[in-house]
Amino acid sequence: MLNQPIQLVIIGGGPAGYTAAIYAARAGLCPILYEGPQPGGQLTITGDVENYPGYRNGVMGTDMMEDFKAQAERFGAIIKEGIITKVDFSIYPRLLMLDNGEQITAQAIIIAAGASAKWLGLPSEKRLYGKGVSACAVCDGFFFKNETVVVVGGGDTAAEESLYLSKLCKKVHMLIRKGHMRASKIMQERVLKKENIQVWFHTEVKDIIGQEAVAAIELIHTTSNQTHIIDATGLFVAIGHQPNSAPFLPYISVNKHGYIQVEPGKTQTNVPGVFAAGDIQDPHYRQAVTAAGTGCMAALDAERFLQNQSDHSIQKNL
């Protein structure tokens, strides 16, 4: 027997989810937020955040997420541990299943489960994440001003990261596993024209050297198996992101890369009363501030939806 439907469930405890919880709680929607497998989102495994407004001296990602969480709880949002593993959006109220076997129903849902960066799988990569290893040049590039860095990847994202870093860094080494770049022709041309970007084809990262911080990158040539060491203080992995949208399929429409599709300028998905915010619907920006903005939008959209549902119910009973 299922309990009484929850008015609003928010899935994901990153900037989008917590912002949605702040707005929804202040609107009296009594939201329940499930933090997911990584409470606080990707910012909890990064270092200083210097580009989020309001923190004039920068802030640790973990501290910023604790501030978000505390603010949401201050207005009455209920924050719970738990992972949504499966849904049934063919019924209303919508059915959600958690990893502990619990089943709940909700009148409105905001999906803010984020996207996970794809990694190389090296032990040193995990150990040095936030200590020179990053998956976001816009977020962390400033910390490597006038230094030498390495970018891994051959697509448009890697090209964009390399070009961005080339404006800040003394030297950018771009490592491409194959003998060609997958990036669009115009992006390839821009990369190859940059004097301080060196492109390495048929090259992979063998290891990241450093104990407390990145000191050098050991490369391996995939055709000759020859190794080479580059002195560098930063490694940017740009081989793509994977949106955490699998639990919501096949009900939610996604693009070919798995990002949830929403109505232009809104957060409404193809399922009435189900909204998406943050990186799970944003393959382009992937910034804390843009995620927070869409969290605000989703809360306002959910509030309007629930009000319309209430008005309809009142009219039906008149």
Catalytic residue positions? 136, 139-140
Alpha carbons within 13 angstroms on the beta-carbon side of residue 186 total 0
Note whether 20 and 299 are within 8 A (CB): yes
Nearest-Å Rg of the Cα atoms of the chain is: 22
Q: Which of 310, 256, 309, 306 is nearest to 283 (CA)?
A: 256
End-to-end distance of the chain based on CA atoms, in angstroms?
30
Classify 84 as helix, strand or coil: strand
Paired with 116 in beta bridges are: 242
Contact 250, 236 (CB under 8 A): no
Helical (H) or strand (E) element with 107: strand 103-111
